């Protein structure tokens, strides 16, 4: 069973917004936050219960590749594009910031 209000309360305390919509027999989740460099960072998944939600979050966290994610924001000149920080090290740091925020959210949601 999905405890929507509890999930949203935890998200708010962790500086995330959370949208939950009904999807067939389950739910579609969007978790969104802003990183230290101002990136609109989000995670989306489908789940039918809290255990499945947590498993999806864990899989995402476990397979996250900050170097690949940062490469999507590096322009042809070797610096940030589309509003990303200028230096590559800052882009990677921003990707890690989003990851750490989601990891903290995962840990708090695990307590529900």
Chain segment 8-56, per-residue pLDDT in tens: 999 999 999 999 999 999 999 999 999 999 999 999 999 999 999 999 9
Residue 108: enclosing H or E segment and its boundaries?
helix 88-109
pLDDT of amino acid 82: 86
Q: For residues 78 and 105, give the distance between their C-alpha atoms in angstroms, rounded to a whole number.
A: 32
Q: For residues 95 and 90, give the distance between their C-alpha atoms in angstroms, rounded to a whole number.
A: 9
Collapsing DSSP to helix, strand or coil, 46 comes out as: strand
Place of tokens 């498993």: 55
Mark residue 24 as left, alpha or beta (left: phi above 0; alpha: psi -120 to 50; beta: remaining). Answer: left
Q: Where do the structural domains in the chain lie, given as residue ranges?
A: 4-109
Collapsing DSSP to helix, strand or coil, 66 comes out as: helix
Strands, E assignment, the chain: 17-23, 26-34, 40-47
Chain segment 77-88, per-residue pLDDT in tens: 989 898 889 999
Mean pLDDT of 54-73: 95
pLDDT of amino acid 109: 98
* 70, 85 Cβ separation under 8 angstroms: no
């Amino acid at each position: 069973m999905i405890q929507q209000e509890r999930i949203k309360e935890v998200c708010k305390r962790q500086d995330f917004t959370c949208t939950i919509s009904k999807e067939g027999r389950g739910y579609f989740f969007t978790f969104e936050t802003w990183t230290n460099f101002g990136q609109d960072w989000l995670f989306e998944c489908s789940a039918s219960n809290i255990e499945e939600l947590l498993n999806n979050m864990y899989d995402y966290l476990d397979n996250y590749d900050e170097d690949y994610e940062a490469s999507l924001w590096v322009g042809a000149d070797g610096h940030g594009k589309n509003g990303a920080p200028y230096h590559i090290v800052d882009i990677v740091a921003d990707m890690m910031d989003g990851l750490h925020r989601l990891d903290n959210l995962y840990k708090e949601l695990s307590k529900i």
